[in-house]
Amino acid sequence: MQPLTPIAVLVSGAGTNLQALLDALRGSSLARVTRVVSSRPDAGALERARSAGVPACVLADPGDPTELVAALGDAELVVLAGYLRRIPPGAVVRFRLRMINIHPALLPAFGGPGMYGRRVHERVLASGVTLSGATVHYVDEEYDRGPIIAQWPVPVRAGDTPESLAARVLEVEHRLLPFVVLELAQRGVPRTPVRLFAAGPAFVIDDQPALRFGDAR
Ligand code: GRF
C-alpha cells in the first residue's frame, strides 16, 4: 500500500483547478493537499484552501528559491494550478520530476512566457487550428517546456470565442489534473518521467470528454 502522498499546490488566481483537486482527493488514501502557496494575496484560491481547512500562505518573493522551498515543506509532489510565476532554478532542481503544471493548450504549441489565460485561447483561435486541449507536464527552468505527462484534446467549434473555448478546456483540465496526480501518487511519484497515452474508443462521448489513459509500459 503506497503511503499517503503530501501535495503542495501553487496558485495565483481563482483556483478552480485547486478545487477540482480538493474534490477529487477527498477521502483518498493515496494523496492529500497539505498546503497551498500563492504568489498573490488576492488569489481566490486562498479562500478555497481556507474553506477546505488546508494551510495556505502567500510568498513575499516568488523569485526566491529558499522562501519557495521552505513554503513547500515536506511535499512529495508539487502542483502548479493557475500559477503564473516562473519557478526559480534552485527550486526546480530540488523538485525535479516532482513538480507538475497544467496548461490550457496542447503544448508545445501556444505556451511560453506571457501565454496564460485568455491570451492562450485567443492565439489558438487566431491560428486556425481545429483542436485545442489541456496539457500536464513536468516543470523545468522554462515556462511550459518540461516533459509532457498527459494531454487531452478539445475540438474547436465554429463560432468559438476565447471565453467559450476556455470554458470547455477548463472542464477537461478539472478532470485531467486530478487523474494525473492520482496516477503519480499511485506509482509513488517515480524519479523517472511518466507518460500517459490516451486510450479508449473516443476523445468525446455524448458531448462529454471521455478521459482514459494507458501508458507505454
Ligand atoms: C487555467 O486555465 C489554468 O490552466 C491556467 O490558468 C487558468 C485558471 O486556473 N494556468 P484556476 O481557475 O486558477 O485553477
Digit-coded pLDDT (tens) for 36-70: 999 999 999 999 999 999 999 999 999 999 999 99
Angle formed by the axes of helices 162-186 and 118-127, to 10°?
A: 110
Residues of the chain with pLDDT under 70: 1, 201-208, 212, 214-217
Positions of E strands within the chain: 5-11, 31-38, 56-58, 77-80, 99-103, 131-138, 148-155, 196-198, 204-205, 208-209, 213-215
Q: Decide: 116 in ligand 1 pocket, CB within 6 A.
A: yes
Catalytic site residue 174?
no
- Whether 15 is in the pocket of ligand 1, judged by its Cβ within 6 Å, is yes
CA of 11 to the centre of ligand 1 (A): 9
- Top mutation candidate among 39, 101, 102 for ligand 1, by most atoms within 8 Å of CB: 102
Is the CB of 174 within 6 Å of ligand 1? no
Q: What spacing in Å lies between the alpha carbon of 21 and ligand 1's midpoint?
A: 12
Cβ–ligand 1 contact at 107 (below 6 Å)? no
C-alpha cell at 104: 490550457
Share of the chain above pLDDT 70, in %: 94
CA 151, 94, 83, 27 torsion: positive or negative?
positive
Give the model's pLDDT for residue 3: 82
